[in-house]
Structure 1
């Protein structure tokens, strides 16, 4: 459960930092939000990795979620374009992250068998 909280925190803070970056174009006061968002996101990622989450999966989920949420929220909040092609790209990124997770899960399931085979060969 703690790992999920760290991951959600990292995603929310990174998206907040990125949206603050966009807001800082009009008001320099938003630079504080940029700093807090990015530093907080990396702090959460560090805690997540310390909790034992694999880096490849962690980074993939964080990056893909950040891209997707930022694109959608920028369209809603700032009127940035969100075309069908951009939406398709977001879906492809999400699909790629799911494939990484499926591959990691398969690898974790196979790992005990590989260790057993190595011990049997000795």
Structure 2
């Protein structure tokens, strides 16, 4: 249970940091920049702890796949970014890949 809790923290911190990147205005605004950096450091700390329990390939696939899907959704819903059928299909493939890795017994 602990490894997946750590992975959830890593994913959440990465999603928050990435969501706030635009607010840094090219890293010219100090407070948003500090918050983004803190989120990324926290994400990598939790990710480094997770790989002590779950193989790095599976961990990274879950972390990057869930993060990618979540950021695409956040971009579409909150940032007004276009979400085409091709993007939705690509995200579906990412999710299918993560599920396949988990079902393969890699952990």
Report the TM-score, using the length of structure 1 for normalisation.
Answer: 0.79
Provide structure 2 residue ranges, at least 5 long, that are not aligned to the other structure: none
Residues in 2 aligned to 1:66 and 1:25: alpha-carbon distance in whole angstroms: 22
Match of 1:77 in 2: 78
Provide structure 1 residue ranges, at least 5 long, that are not aligned to the other structure: 109-122
The alignment partner of 1:82 has SS state of coil
Match of 1:31 in 2: 33
* Number of aligned residues: 105
Match of 1:56 in 2: 57
Query: Higher RCO, 1 or 2 (CA under 8 Å, sep at least 6)?
Result: 2
Report the TM-score, using the length of structure 2 for normalisation.
Answer: 0.89
Q: Which has the higher helix share?
A: 1
Residues in 2 aligned to 1:17 and 1:78: alpha-carbon distance in whole angstroms: 15
Match of 1:66 in 2: 67
Match of 1:116 in 2: none
Instruction: Using the TM superposition, give the Cα deviation of residue 25 of structure 1 relative to its aligned residue in structure 2, in angstroms.
Output: 2.1
The alignment partner of 2:103 has SS state of helix
The alignment partner of 2:51 has SS state of helix
Match of 2:49 in 1: 47
